[in-house]
């Protein structure tokens, strides 16, 4: 394959949405797969949409995701500047050159005339297209207008007849009728380029070999190709990727409350899991494997695996994948990630949080759910006594009271309080009674936690909260059951 050079060219408009992150990842993976270069270029010519601090968000996001660029504003390179506003002086010269080549022309139409044209086309039920009024101007008229500093734009001159075709690595050969192509503006009245024109110039100058972008740009690509052809430049390989939609079929939108990359991280999702999941939104590997490190993706990613069909962003699938990442990490790593979530949830400094982490790791899918899972450790919640009634365990209010009263002195007699000793004494008691384990364990767990779902069983929880607290809570449970059954119980 030719020397591969890809680029991620975001606009600094605030946050990194999921589609942007996927584009960056695909560009990065293509470059790494073929030992090429991945370039970061900041497209900031649209100053009306510029958000202060947004460039730092781009750097931070790429770094956090493990996407390292080989060239860019912060690392330099031989093809700079890598910030579009620092390149603005060159675009007008290219546009003037295109005029000389016959691929573009000056347009001096006022805003008022263009508004009237639009109004007329609306009334006639036509689409909005420039009527090429200024294409008829003589060379002398153009020079006179330029001499008088009449405001102008430069428009691309589309072919009058025929078709334009291009090959896309995902969608194959796409052909459009040239009559559908409007004479788009290349240079605005302020001398700055439009997005479409600047892209072509920058990609050519930076020798970009592969352009990855959303399939909403498929209809614009013939215009790009005509520019390349007019200048006599080599056309890059286009890789148009499918849309990312919600289950409802709507596009993901920050305004509609859909999460950005930063949002997902703050929601407790691991960066590695987010990256893994986002790559799979519109791309399938050649095997059934779903869990990949970024390094593994660099080796297996193939453009041929990109789908034409829209990808559905499923937060439940991401949650599952996040849980898989949590379960696969070393306990020490999970414990380190969990510690900040313990700080506000547990004030008792005697709690062995490492023991807690060992229970939580196999049950946690998203880190931010940790506080609500362990809120009973610091303080016993005011629970409904009916929680003692469990059909599968065959527990009732009556036998729960009986079994808690019997368990209390057994637990009180344990001198070396730990999970092993608790297990030994309680199971000896269960064996002596000849009953199901759950008949004894369910009431103890309910009394000690006050919750129907806990990160561990009765023995593990009793071990973590400690002997004194366990006995205190069992006493509360006994009192609750007595009150429910009548004081004479």
Active site residues: 254
DSSP assignment of 346-412: ---TTS-HHHHHHHHTTT-SSGGGHHHHSHHHHS-----GGGG-BTTTTB-HHHHHHHHHHHHHHHH
- Residue that is written with structure tokens 């400690």 in the block: 466
Nearest to 386 by CA among 450, 458, 435, 476: 450
Q: What is the DSSP letter of 253?
A: -
Q: For the stretch 325-358, what's the b/e string if a residue is b when 16 or more beta carbons lie within 10 angstroms of its beta carbon?
A: bbeeeeeeebbebbeebbeeebeeeebebebbbb
Contact 318, 312 (CB under 8 A): no
In this structure, what is the dihedral angle of CA atoms 33, 34, 38, 43, given to the nearest 10 degrees?
-100
Residue 254 annotated as binding site: yes
Ramachandran class of 193: left when φ > 0, alpha when ψ lies in -120 to 50, beta otherwise = beta
Question: Is the link from the previous residue into 143 a cis peptide, with omega within 30 of 0?
Answer: no
Q: Is the dihedral of CA 165, 231, 217, 57 positive or negative?
A: positive
Relative orientation angle of helices 353-360 and 458-465, to the nearest 10 degrees: 160
Extract the annotated binding site for ATP.
Answer: 254
Annotated binding site: 254
């Amino acid at each position: 394959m030719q020397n591969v050079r890809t680029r991620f060219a975001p606009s600094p408009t605030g946050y990194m949405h999921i589609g942007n992150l996927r584009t960056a990842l695909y560009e990065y993976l293509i470059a790494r797969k073929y030992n090429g270069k991945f370039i970061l270029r900041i497209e900031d010519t649209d100053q009306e949409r510029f958000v202060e601090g947004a460039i730092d968000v781009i750097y931070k996001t790429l770094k956090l995701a493990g996407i390292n660029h080989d060239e860019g504003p912060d690392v330099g390179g031989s093809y700079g500047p890598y910030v579009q506003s620092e390149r603005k002086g060159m675009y007008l010269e290219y546009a003037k050159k295109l005029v000389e080549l016959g691929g573009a022309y000056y347009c001096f139409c006022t805003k008022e005339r263009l508004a009237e044209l639009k109004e007329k086309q609306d009334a006639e039920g036509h689409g909005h297209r420039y009527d090429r009024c200024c294409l008829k101007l003589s060379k002398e008229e153009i020079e006179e207008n330029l001499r008088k500093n009449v405001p102008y734009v430069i428009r691309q001159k589309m072919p009058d007849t025929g078709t334009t075709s291009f090959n896309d690595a995902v969608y194959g050969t796409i052909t459009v009728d040239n009559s559908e192509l409007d004479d788009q503006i290349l240079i605005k009245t302020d001398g700055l380029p439009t997005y479409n024109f600047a892209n072509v110039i920058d990609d050519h100058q930076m020798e970009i070999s592969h352009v990855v972008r959303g399939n909403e740009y498929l209809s614009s690509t013939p215009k790009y190709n005509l520019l390349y052809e007019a200048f006599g430049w080599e056309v890059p390989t286009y890789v148009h990727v499918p849309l990312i939609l919600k289950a409802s079929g709507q596009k993901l939108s920050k305004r509609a409350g859909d999460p950005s990359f930063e949002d997902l991280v703050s929601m407790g999702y691991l960066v590695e899991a987010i990256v893994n999941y986002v790559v799979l939104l519109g791309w399938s590997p050649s095997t059934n494997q779903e869990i990949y490190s970024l390094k593994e993706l660099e080796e297996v990613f193939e453009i041929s695996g990109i789908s034409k069909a829209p990808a559905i962003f499923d937060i439940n699938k991401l949650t599952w994948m996040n849980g898989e990442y949590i379960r696969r990490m070393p306990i020490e790593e999970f414990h380190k990630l969990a510690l900040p979530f313990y700080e506000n949830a547990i004030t008792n400094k005697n709690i062995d949080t490492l023991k807690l982490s060992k229970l939580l790791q196999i049950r946690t899918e998203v880190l931010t759910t940790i506080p609500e899972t362990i809120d009973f450790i610091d303080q016993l919640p005011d629970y409904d006594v009916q929680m003692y009634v469990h059909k599968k365990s065959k527990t009732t209010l009556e036998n729960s009271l009986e079994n808690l009263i019997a368990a209390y002195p057994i637990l009180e007699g344990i001198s070396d309080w730990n999970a092993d000793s608790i297990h030994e004494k309680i199971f000896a008691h269960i064996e002596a009674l000849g009953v199901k384990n759950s008949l004894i364990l369910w009431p103890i767990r309910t009394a000690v936690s006050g919750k129907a779902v806990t990160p561990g069983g009765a023995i593990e929880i009793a071990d973590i909260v400690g002997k004194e607290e366990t006995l205190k809570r069992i006493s509360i449970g006994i009192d609750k059951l007595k009150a429910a059954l009548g004081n004479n119980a």
